[in-house]
Amino acid sequence: MNARADQPSAPSPANVGIVIVSHSPLVAKGAADMVRQMVGDCVPLAWTGGNVEGGLGTHVAGIAAAIEAAWSEAGVAIFVDLGGAETNSEMAVERLGPARAARVAICNAPLVEGAVVAAAEASGGSSLAKVVATAEELSP
Protein backbone atom coordinates (compact mmCIF):
# COMPACT_ATOMS: atom_id res chain seq x y z
CA MET A 1 0.00 0.00 0.00
CA ASN A 2 1.45 3.31 -1.01
CA ALA A 3 0.89 6.86 0.06
CA ARG A 4 -2.56 8.32 -0.16
CA ALA A 5 -3.18 12.01 -0.23
CA ASP A 6 -6.33 12.43 1.76
CA GLN A 7 -7.54 15.77 0.51
CA PRO A 8 -11.19 16.08 -0.51
CA SER A 9 -10.54 19.67 -1.59
CA ALA A 10 -7.53 21.95 -1.68
CA PRO A 11 -6.44 22.71 1.90
CA SER A 12 -4.99 25.99 2.99
CA PRO A 13 -1.36 25.86 1.85
CA ALA A 14 -0.42 28.09 4.77
CA ASN A 15 -1.08 25.35 7.34
CA VAL A 16 1.46 22.76 8.43
CA GLY A 17 0.88 19.38 6.76
CA ILE A 18 0.47 16.07 8.61
CA VAL A 19 1.88 12.70 7.49
CA ILE A 20 0.92 9.43 9.18
CA VAL A 21 3.29 6.44 8.83
CA SER A 22 2.26 3.07 10.20
CA HIS A 23 3.35 -0.50 9.52
CA SER A 24 -0.32 -1.19 8.88
CA PRO A 25 -2.23 0.59 6.06
CA LEU A 26 -5.41 0.09 8.10
CA VAL A 27 -3.94 1.87 11.12
CA ALA A 28 -2.55 4.69 8.94
CA LYS A 29 -5.83 5.21 7.12
CA GLY A 30 -7.84 4.98 10.35
CA ALA A 31 -5.68 7.59 12.03
CA ALA A 32 -6.02 9.84 8.97
CA ASP A 33 -9.81 9.43 9.11
CA MET A 34 -9.76 10.61 12.72
CA VAL A 35 -7.64 13.62 11.81
CA ARG A 36 -9.96 14.50 8.95
CA GLN A 37 -13.00 14.26 11.22
CA MET A 38 -11.29 16.69 13.60
CA VAL A 39 -10.06 19.36 11.20
CA GLY A 40 -11.91 18.82 7.94
CA ASP A 41 -9.83 19.66 4.91
CA CYS A 42 -7.99 22.74 6.16
CA VAL A 43 -4.78 20.79 6.87
CA PRO A 44 -2.76 18.97 4.18
CA LEU A 45 -2.87 15.29 5.19
CA ALA A 46 -1.45 12.06 3.79
CA TRP A 47 -0.89 8.55 5.10
CA THR A 48 1.23 5.58 4.16
CA GLY A 49 1.35 2.07 5.54
CA GLY A 50 2.78 -1.26 4.51
CA ASN A 51 5.91 -2.45 2.75
CA VAL A 52 6.52 -2.32 -1.02
CA GLU A 53 4.55 -5.56 -1.46
CA GLY A 54 1.55 -4.39 0.57
CA GLY A 55 2.37 -6.48 3.66
CA LEU A 56 2.94 -5.03 7.11
CA GLY A 57 5.95 -2.71 7.17
CA THR A 58 7.10 0.68 6.00
CA HIS A 59 9.13 1.86 3.03
CA VAL A 60 10.99 4.98 2.03
CA ALA A 61 9.30 5.57 -1.32
CA GLY A 62 5.83 5.41 0.23
CA ILE A 63 6.84 7.84 2.95
CA ALA A 64 8.46 10.18 0.42
CA ALA A 65 5.25 10.17 -1.65
CA ALA A 66 3.17 10.94 1.46
CA ILE A 67 5.44 13.88 2.33
CA GLU A 68 5.00 15.25 -1.20
CA ALA A 69 1.22 14.78 -0.98
CA ALA A 70 0.98 16.66 2.33
CA TRP A 71 3.67 19.22 1.46
CA SER A 72 3.19 22.71 2.82
CA GLU A 73 5.58 25.63 2.71
CA ALA A 74 4.83 25.93 6.45
CA GLY A 75 6.31 22.49 6.96
CA VAL A 76 5.25 18.90 7.53
CA ALA A 77 4.92 16.97 10.80
CA ILE A 78 5.33 13.18 10.55
CA PHE A 79 3.82 10.70 12.99
CA VAL A 80 5.22 7.16 13.14
CA ASP A 81 4.43 3.96 15.02
CA LEU A 82 7.34 1.49 15.52
CA GLY A 83 11.11 1.76 14.97
CA GLY A 84 11.34 0.99 11.25
CA ALA A 85 8.69 3.64 10.55
CA GLU A 86 10.94 6.19 12.24
CA THR A 87 14.23 5.21 10.57
CA ASN A 88 12.61 4.87 7.14
CA SER A 89 11.02 8.31 7.67
CA GLU A 90 14.44 9.74 8.51
CA MET A 91 15.82 8.36 5.24
CA ALA A 92 12.88 9.80 3.29
CA VAL A 93 13.36 13.22 4.90
CA GLU A 94 17.12 13.28 4.22
CA ARG A 95 16.46 12.55 0.57
CA LEU A 96 14.48 15.82 0.30
CA GLY A 97 17.74 17.78 0.51
CA PRO A 98 18.74 20.12 3.34
CA ALA A 99 16.45 23.05 2.46
CA ARG A 100 13.20 21.05 2.41
CA ALA A 101 14.30 18.60 5.10
CA ALA A 102 14.64 21.53 7.50
CA ARG A 103 10.90 22.04 7.16
CA VAL A 104 9.98 18.49 8.12
CA ALA A 105 9.83 17.11 11.67
CA ILE A 106 9.40 13.51 12.83
CA CYS A 107 7.43 13.81 16.05
CA ASN A 108 8.10 11.91 19.23
CA ALA A 109 4.43 11.42 20.01
CA PRO A 110 1.80 8.67 19.91
CA LEU A 111 0.59 8.09 16.36
CA VAL A 112 -3.16 8.65 16.72
CA GLU A 113 -3.30 11.16 19.54
CA GLY A 114 -0.25 13.02 18.23
CA ALA A 115 -1.63 13.36 14.71
CA VAL A 116 -5.05 14.54 15.92
CA VAL A 117 -3.62 17.07 18.39
CA ALA A 118 -1.07 18.29 15.84
CA ALA A 119 -3.71 18.71 13.16
CA ALA A 120 -5.92 20.70 15.51
CA GLU A 121 -2.95 22.95 16.28
CA ALA A 122 -2.03 23.21 12.59
CA SER A 123 -5.60 24.12 11.62
CA GLY A 124 -5.19 27.35 13.58
CA GLY A 125 -2.20 28.36 11.47
CA SER A 126 0.49 27.54 14.04
CA SER A 127 4.14 27.20 13.07
CA LEU A 128 5.76 23.78 12.59
CA ALA A 129 7.66 24.23 15.86
CA LYS A 130 4.43 24.93 17.75
CA VAL A 131 2.61 22.01 16.09
CA VAL A 132 5.44 19.63 17.00
CA ALA A 133 5.72 20.95 20.57
CA THR A 134 1.98 20.51 21.14
CA ALA A 135 2.06 16.92 19.89
CA GLU A 136 5.19 16.07 21.86
CA GLU A 137 3.59 17.28 25.09
CA LEU A 138 1.70 13.97 24.92
CA SER A 139 4.95 12.03 25.41
CA PRO A 140 6.18 12.01 29.01
Partner 1 sequence: MHLAAADLSALIALCRAEIDRHGEHLGALDSAIGDGDHGANMRRGLEAVFAERDAIAALPLPAALERIGLVLVMNIGGAAGPLYGTLLMELGRALPDGDEADDLAAPLERAIAAVARRGRSGPGDKTLLDVLYPVQAELVRRSPPGDIAACARSAAHSTGPMQARRGRASFLGARSIGHEDPGASSCALLTAAICGYFEEHRPS
| Residue 23 known to be catalytic | yes
Which sign, positive or negative, has the C-alpha torsion 71, 77, 82, 86?
positive
- Residue 119 makes CB contacts below 8 A (sequence gap 6+) with 18, 35, 38, 39, 43, 45
Q: Which of 14, 26, 73, 82 binds partner 1 (CB under 8 A)?
A: 82
60 scored as a contact of partner 1 (CB under 8 A): yes
- Residue 12 makes CB contacts below 8 A (sequence gap 6+) with 42, 43
Min. distance of Cβ 57 from partner 1 in angstroms?
Answer: 5
Would you say 94 and 69 are in contact if contact means Cβ atoms under 8 Å apart? no
Of 4-12, 27-35, 56-64, 125-133, the segment contacting partner 1 by CB under 8 A is 56-64
55 scored as a contact of partner 1 (CB under 8 A): yes
Considering 11, 16, 20, 23, which one is annotated as catalytic?
A: 23
57 scored as a contact of partner 1 (CB under 8 A): yes
Alpha-carbon gap, residue 58 to 82, rounded angstroms = 10
Which residues are at the interface with partner 1 (CB under 8 A)? 51-53, 55-61, 82-84, 87-88, 90-91
Residues designated as active site: 23
